[in-house]
Amino acid sequence: MAILKLRGVGKNFGALEVLSEIDLDVEKGQITSVIGPNGAGKTTLFNVISGRFPVSSGNILFKERDLGRMKEHEITLAGLARSFQITNIFQNLTVWENVFLAVQTRSPKRMSLFTRFQKLDGVKSQTEGILNRVGLSLWKDTPAGQLSHGDQRHLEIGMTLATGPELLLLDEPTSGMSPAEASQTMDLIKDLAKDVTIFLIEHNMDIVMNVSDHIFVLNFGRKIAEGSPEEIADNQEVCRVYLGGV
Ligand SMILES: Nc1ncnc2c1ncn2[C@@H]1O[C@H](COP(=O)(O)OP(=O)(O)O)[C@@H](O)[C@H]1O
Ligand SMILES: [Mg+2]
């Protein structure tokens, strides 16, 4: 079943057409990736899906609901979360405090059914759970700014889990990482995918080919190919786009 469907999605910034006629389905429970050269429109695709920018044309359906008229926070509450290409953490707060604040401020309204005391307890245990999940429990009292770059990115992924998303959009989670850090992130993404549908923008081809169930290729704002990792590796147009850029 497709948890996310785009039909004829286009996005212009003034006269600049950044996305054109994008049709794509993200299947529930899978890891779906978007690849393409710099400036292809990948981040813009995530910006229109997450409600940061309105689409210029077409429809976006998340769990069969049209996101067209929904605000960014409403989309988050509906179960769609995203991370950013640039980290978004509070450097001077501890790892624990960053996640705790994310849980407290981003949790859906249903939390207000709890009494205040139960609510605090719930926030604490959710914070523990997230730190465990992203492998940062040992660093919980460390100021976030002192973490390695890789761990800061993992912390940010943890913060995106605070809303309990069903679909998680990750924009270049391994950018700036050492190969060892990137390989840890790859394991983390695979582990998260047991519970959350993952939609990933990734430039590291080893990771894309290793984790993805399905891959979309964008070039100049158009979808030029889609398929399994094997199909994409064999696709001549995709090879031309990538080799042409080297
Ligand atoms: N807010 C914006 N206003 C104007 N142009 C933008 C904006 N965001 C992105 N663009 C342009 O859209 C194109 C695609 O950018 P982007 O989606 O960031 O590509 P990618 O993530 O694939 O590298 C680029 O030409 C970029 O300059
Ligand atoms: Mg980008």
**What CATH number is attached to the domain comprising 45?**
3.40.50.300
- For residues 95 and 55, state if they share a domain: no
Q: Model confidence over 34-62: pLDDT tens digits? A: 999 999 999 999 999 999 999 999 999 99
Q: What is the pLDDT of residue 65?
A: 95
- Shortest-distance Cα residue to atom 1 of ligand 1: 13
Q: Identify the residue with better confidence: 186 or 240.
A: 186
40 lines ligand 1 (CB under 6 A): yes
d(CA 105, CA 242): 41
- Among the candidates 164, 188, 212, a domain finishes at 164
Q: What is the pTM of this model?
A: 0.92
In this structure, the answer to whether residues 57 and 158 fall within a common structural domain is no
CA of 44 from ligand 2 middle (Å) equals 7
Pocket test for ligand 1, best of 9, 11, 18, 202 (most atoms within 8 A of CB): 18
| Rounded Cα distance, 29 and 40, in Å | 26
Q: Which two tokens stand for residue 90?
A: 């509070």
Residue in this structure with the two tokens 């707060």, named with its chain if needed: 93
* Residues 73, 189 within the same domain: yes
Could you tell me if 73 and 122 lie in one domain?
A: no
Confidence of residue 163 (pLDDT cuts 50, 70, 90): confident
Q: Could you report the per-residue pLDDT of 61-96, keeping only the tens digit for each?
A: 999 999 988 999 899 989 999 986 566 799 999 999
Atom of ligand 1 nearest to the CA of 171: 21
Q: Which residues contact 196 (CB under 8 A, 6 or more apart)?
A: 161, 165, 166, 167, 168
Same domain, 73 and 170: yes
Residue 246 pLDDT > 50? no
Please say which residue of 164, 184, 205 terminates a domain. Answer: 164
Q: Are residues 202 and 227 in the same domain?
A: yes
Q: Which pLDDT score, from 0 to 100, does residue 78 have?
A: 93
Average pLDDT over residues 135-155: 96
The residue from 164, 185, 216 where one domain ends is 164
Q: Could you list the residue range(s) of the whole structural domain that residue 154 is in?
A: 87-164
| Dist CA 202 CA 98 (whole Å) | 25
Residue 4 parent element (H or E): strand 2-13
For the chain, what is the domain count? 2
Pairing of strands 197-201, 167-171: parallel
38 C-beta closer than 6 A to ligand 1: yes
Same domain, 9 and 130: no
Question: Which ligand has the shortest distance to the CA of 41?
Answer: 1
Residue nearest to atom 24 of ligand 1 (CA): 39
pLDDT, position 87: 65
- Asked if 26 and 66 sit in the same domain, the reply is yes
Cβ–ligand 1 contact at 41 (below 6 Å): yes
Which residue has the CA at smallest separation from atom 27 of ligand 1? 39
9, 11, 12, 13: residue to mutate for ligand 1 pocket, most atoms within 8 A of CB: 13
Ligand nearest to the CA of 45: 1
Please tell me what DSSP assigns to residue 134.
T
What is the residue-averaged pLDDT of the chain? Answer: 91
